[in-house]
Amino acid sequence: MKSAKTTGMACGASRISRAVFSKSLAGAVAVNLKSFAGESGAKLPVMFVGHGSPMNALQENSNTKGWRLMAEGLKPKAVLCISAHWETRGTRVTMAVKPKTIHDFSGFPPELYAIHYPAPGAPDVGDKIIGTVKKHAVQQDHAWGLDHGAWSVIMKMFPRADVPVLQLSLNRNLSLRDHYALARELAFLRRQGVLVIGSGNLVHNLHLLKWDSEGPYDWAGEFDEQARQLILDGDHASLMRGEALSREAKLSIPTPEHYLPMLYILALQEQGEQVSFFNESIDMGSISMRSMVIN
């Protein structure tokens, strides 16, 4: 994310109507997210969040309201975030005790750079991940902190910064299917009090942002709907085709990093679990804010 113009600073303001948002959110709340205290054995839900612009961190809008409501009643022991904004060679997990707040963007207002989210880290969870994931080795990382794909969302969910947070990187060397297989090995975390959040955007094409029109591109709306139906159908195999799914997919996924966090969350879906969507909007023509919770 390089500058306010190229990142879609205005993306933080959701275009979805109040009535549509309320209906969508009601459906998501209907999954009955009770007070998960994070006890060992109690299975936590998993979430994919369309994070959009880092400006959401400064704003209160329908998107941030959705994030906040989805976290109500959740009391995880830790949060593992798979963010679109940490790509590495090899798979890495953060081990910092006090992870720094990374402002991985430029050209935004000074107020955004003044935000620091002081959540503690969770190196103990990192050690468990390293010891459990076998298909692809996971390495310790002591340098990375929390990028804006993580902190701009989690600070709205847990504003007191009292829940430990760590991140898992996106390995550039893996295929979409490899990422999915790796994510399957993270399932044990759900029963150990760890809330797993994927942070990206289902449709993410910064080169074709609309600055003067509120309506989405036809192809963006069509792929957003196509993906929604495949998710509801449980057709993960088709979703693992990514940009090869269709012409609309190719335009919606010009690069995979914002799409991959969604696959990580789908990989953690267990038999019989339902998917509920919230924040169902497309901003600036080509940024889908669609989010989901699986429980």
**Res 41 pLDDT > 80:** no
Residue 18 lies in a domain: no
Residue 289 lies in a domain: yes
What per-residue confidence (pLDDT) applies to 9? 33
**Res 22 pLDDT > 50:** no
Residue 102 lies in a domain: yes
Q: State the pLDDT confidence band at 261, using cuts at 50, 70 and 90.
A: very high
**Res 260 pLDDT > 70:** yes
Residue 251 lies in a domain: yes
Q: What is the mean pLDDT of residues 39-64?
A: 91
What per-residue confidence (pLDDT) applies to 194? 98
What is the distance between the alpha carbons of residues 280 and 48, in angstroms, rounded to a whole number?
A: 12
Does residue 218 or residue 25 have the better pLDDT?
218
Residue 170 lies in a domain: yes
**Res 36 pLDDT > 90:** no
pLDDT mean across residues, the chain? 89
Q: What is the mean pLDDT of residues 131-148?
A: 97
**At 171, which helix (H) or strand (E)?**
strand 165-171
Q: What is the DSSP letter of 101?
A: B
Q: What is the mean pLDDT of residues 205-213?
A: 87
Residue 128 lies in a domain: yes
Q: State the pLDDT confidence band at 37, using cuts at 50, 70 and 90.
A: low
- List, for residues 63-116, the tens digit of each pLDDT value: 999 999 999 999 999 999 999 999 999 999 999 999 999 999 989 999 999 999
Q: State the pLDDT confidence band at 27, using cuts at 50, 70 and 90.
A: very low
Residue 43 lies in a domain: yes
- List, for residues 222-258, the tens digit of each pLDDT value: 999 999 999 999 999 999 999 999 999 999 999 999 9
Residue 171 lies in a domain: yes
Provide the domain limits for residue 257.
Answer: 35-294
Percent of the chain with pLDDT over 70: 86
Q: What is the mean pLDDT of residues 110-126?
A: 98
The pTM assigned to this predicted structure is 0.89
Contact in structure between 53 and 10 (CB atoms under 8 Å):
yes
Q: State the pLDDT confidence band at 214, using cuts at 50, 70 and 90.
A: confident
The number of folded domains in the chain is 1
Q: What CATH number has the domain bearing residue 159?
A: 3.40.830.10
**Long-range pairs for 270-276 at CB < 8 Å and ≥24 separation?**
270/43, 270/187, 274/31, 275/231, 275/232, 276/27, 276/28, 276/30, 276/31
Which residues, in sequence order, are CB contacts of 219 under 8 Å at separation 6+? Answer: 247, 248, 251, 252
- List, for residues 165-186, the tens digit of each pLDDT value: 999 999 999 999 999 999 999 9
Q: What is the mean pLDDT of residues 27-44?
A: 58
What per-residue confidence (pLDDT) applies to 282? 94
Percent of the chain with pLDDT over 90: 82
97 token code pair: 């005790």
